[in-house]
Amino acid sequence: MLYIAGGCCALLSLYCGFPRLCLFLTLVTGIRWLLTWLKGVSYTGTVRLEGKVAVVTGANAGIGRAIATDLARRGAKVILACRDQARAEAARVVIIREAGVAPEMVTFMKLDLASFKSVRSFASELTKTVPKLDILVNNAGVAFLSSAVMTEDGQEMVFQVNHLGNFLLTNLLAGLLAPGGRVVMVSSLAHDWPRRGIQYEDLTWQRTPFSMVEAYGQSKLANILFAKEFGRRFADQGITTYSVHPGAVITELGRDFKQKLPGFLVPVTDYLASLVLKTPEEGAQTIIYCSVEPSVARETGLYYAECAEKIPSPLALSQGEAAWLWRVSEEIVGDI
């Protein structure tokens, strides 16, 4: 094989000239490096989680399922907190098989973050089901809705599912979180998209023309601010929080956007996406890192990407903004 490759290079050299050959090889090498870099860092820690209990929201597909599989493989009892029972039960079968664990180690509980009533019901049932909670991964989310959709609670769908539901859920489960417990918020680089930060004066987009980019971005900014403030409030109880940018990942979040494309373009966009976007397993790496890595056990309220702490946008660094978001969120969701 080496001789064949050498012969090909020699022929190319004769035909194209040495400078062109060097340029070609440099370009190929650069593209391969770029594609590898885009796939991100892999977490190689071997931490075991026997005796630990983990809840992963939105665990029926994508990053959530990859996280749940990894945590189950490490020995944790994993609860799949999902809206759609049929899809969650199908995912549960796959997770049990891939993790190689007993069926009772992976269970399903219904949770719809678009309903405060559902969140309260889930939290109540969980406290009756398990004696403690060690890991809470707030992964479920929605993105890129083409118009403002109101929930049964009168809130805009993206902000409620991505932030308000998580805010209520995490607070209701705070008493169940054991010392050393971790809360991981799946945020995004998109937290830097909102031009003015969170538009507190019109969270339901009644007076402002709806922007799918702004709506998604401010919900991801809220994830980071919430992790910061929750971490501050619960640090003395030994509970730590982490917000994570998983990278550009092929997930179902973009299904609404994908449905707008002409059918003939879908195979092309799918192929291009597979080249430059992370798989769900690759996107799950930093979330798993923040969920289990011993070296970050004393860190709280910080932002991470590629298995390392990163500096978020200036708005996401404001403790005052984090405290204000908490007050507004508490007023909306009610008793926490």
- Catalytic residue positions, numbered: 216
Q: Which residues contact 104 (CB under 8 A, 6 or more apart)?
A: 77
| Token output for 170 | 């995490």
